[in-house]
Amino acid sequence: MIPFNKPYLTGKETDYIKEAVSGGKISGDGVFTKRSHSFFENRFGFKKCLLTTSCTDALEMAAILINIQPGDEVIMPSYTFVSTSNAFVLRGAKIVFCDSRTDHPGIDEDKIEALITDRTKAIVPVHYAGIACDMDKIMDLADKYNLFVIEDAAQAIDSYYTGRDGVRRPLGSIGHMAAFSFHETKNIMSGEGGMLVINDERFFERAEIIREKGTNRSKFFRGEVDKYGWVDIGSSFLPSDMIAAFLYAQLENLEDIQARRKEIWDAYYEGLKPLADRGLFKLPVIPDFATNNAHMFYLTCNSLEDRNKIIALLKSHQIYAVFHYLSLHKSPFYADKHDGRDLPETDRYTDCLVRLPMYYELNPQMVLDVLKTL
């Protein structure tokens, strides 16, 4: 059997968890949480990082930090996981869905401006498959209309964007804030887990407070106040240090994990290119401004029927591929709240996209089996 995903253990995870337990502090913001924060801030230049229990929590924190109120509008793609939308709906926002690009499932940057109104508060680009949205276009709109940009970088660890100025920047470092996921399906994982990246210093202090149930507990433990109390709204967003210990073992092996995943991605691409050249399906497109972090390998089929046949055929050979998101604007919860616009590219990806198995321990013979079956 070739599963769709298999979590990869580097070998140090349980050692570090034991170390965290032996240290006597396994609640949030322990030694491994601090090490993980430092890793991200030093390697990627993120201004401030806060581990969370999930990417969903990170997005919910971002919605609170930019003070989303009932009636505020937030623009995002419809082709995304429900957490992207849910975080803002929980604060009362109206979600304005934008269609995907024709060449990539990410948001169509050229269709955003027409959706902006005097109620628009934020744009939430999703770096689908770890491939960058055109952040220059999005940040230009944010500057022009005084909007916040929250990068949904759930799939985008170790991926980059090159702007018009020729500077290459890590995804998650460009918007006012960004949310990452360390779910077991991600390149770097801790089972469940996430991180809020804060690039705008206005939000540094309040982010700590919101993450600590609305208290200034973090300032207390740094000796900045003589007692701590309830000073704002918030929730328990911080993870156990055991989760951070697991994550840190993964971070130490980031380069090795990424190199292997890219080998698998390249093997898929080269092996399937002859079929794509015959027009049987489309392969992923990497825009010139983006890098590929090999988070996933997907095919865009010509029809729903083709997609279903491919999944069924692979399954009959004990190879498990999956389709991905359903259009949020047509979801049972949001269909009657959507403004009625057709989003044809979103619906095309909903019907036609299939993800192939992708994980560190997918060996060359397994990749060859997938290619031969296709």
Reported as a pLDDT band with limits 50, 70 and 90, residue 291 is very high
Asked if residues 196 and 63 have their Cβ atoms less than 8 Å apart, the reply is: no
Quick one: tokens of 245? 């210990």
Quick one: tokens of 44? 């990627």
* pLDDT reported for residue 260: 98
Mean predicted confidence (pLDDT) in 214-235: 85
Reported as a pLDDT band with limits 50, 70 and 90, residue 227 is confident
Q: What is the residue type of 330?
A: K
- The alpha carbon of 209 is separated from its chain's Cα centroid by a whole number of angstroms, namely 24
Mean predicted confidence (pLDDT) in 299-311: 98
CA distance linking residue 120 with residue 73, whole number of Å: 4
* pLDDT reported for residue 218: 82
Reported as a pLDDT band with limits 50, 70 and 90, residue 225 is confident
Q: pLDDT at residue 220 above 80?
A: no
DSSP per residue over 268-283, as a string? HHHHHHHHHHTTSEE-
Domain 254-373: give its CATH code.
3.90.1150.10
Q: Of all residues in the chain, what percent are helix, strand and coil, respectively (each to 5)?
A: 40, 15, 45
Asked if residues 194 and 49 have their Cβ atoms less than 8 Å apart, the reply is: no
Asked if residues 284 and 349 have their Cβ atoms less than 8 Å apart, the reply is: no
Q: What is the mean pLDDT of the chain?
A: 97
Q: Do domains 13-251 and 254-373 have the same CATH topology?
A: no
* pLDDT reported for residue 124: 99
Task: Using a pLDDT cut of 70, give the percent of the chain over it.
Answer: 100
Q: Which of 179, 233, 180 is nearest to 206 (CA)?
A: 233
Over the stretch 114-138, which tens digit does the pLDDT of each residue have? 999 999 999 999 999 999 999 999 9
**Correct CATH for 13-251 of 3.10.180.10, 3.30.390.30, 1.10.287.1260, 3.40.640.10:** 3.40.640.10
Domain spans in the chain, listed from the N-terminal domain onward: 13-251, 254-373
Q: What is the residue type of 84?
A: T
DSSP per residue over 18-45, as a string? HHHHHTT--SSS-HHHHHHHHHHHHHH-
- The alpha carbon of 314 is separated from its chain's Cα centroid by a whole number of angstroms, namely 27
Q: Which neighbouring-strand residues pair with 75?
A: 96, 123
Please report, in angstroms and rounded to a whole number, the separation of the first and last CA atoms in the chain: 16
Q: pLDDT at residue 222 above 80?
A: no
Q: pLDDT at residue 217 above 90?
A: no
Asked if residues 63 and 87 have their Cβ atoms less than 8 Å apart, the reply is: yes
Q: pLDDT at residue 226 above 80?
A: no
Q: pLDDT at residue 221 above 80?
A: no
Reported as a pLDDT band with limits 50, 70 and 90, residue 228 is confident
Q: Which of 181, 28, 59 is nearest to 122 (CA)?
A: 59
How much is the CA Rg of the chain, to the nearest whole Å? 21
Task: Using a pLDDT cut of 90, give the percent of the chain over it.
Answer: 95
Asked if residues 20 and 28 have their Cβ atoms less than 8 Å apart, the reply is: no
Q: Are strands 148-152 and 120-123 parallel, antiparallel or unpaired?
A: parallel
Over the stretch 4-59, which tens digit does the pLDDT of each residue have? 999 999 999 999 999 999 999 899 999 999 999 999 999 999 999 999 999 999 99
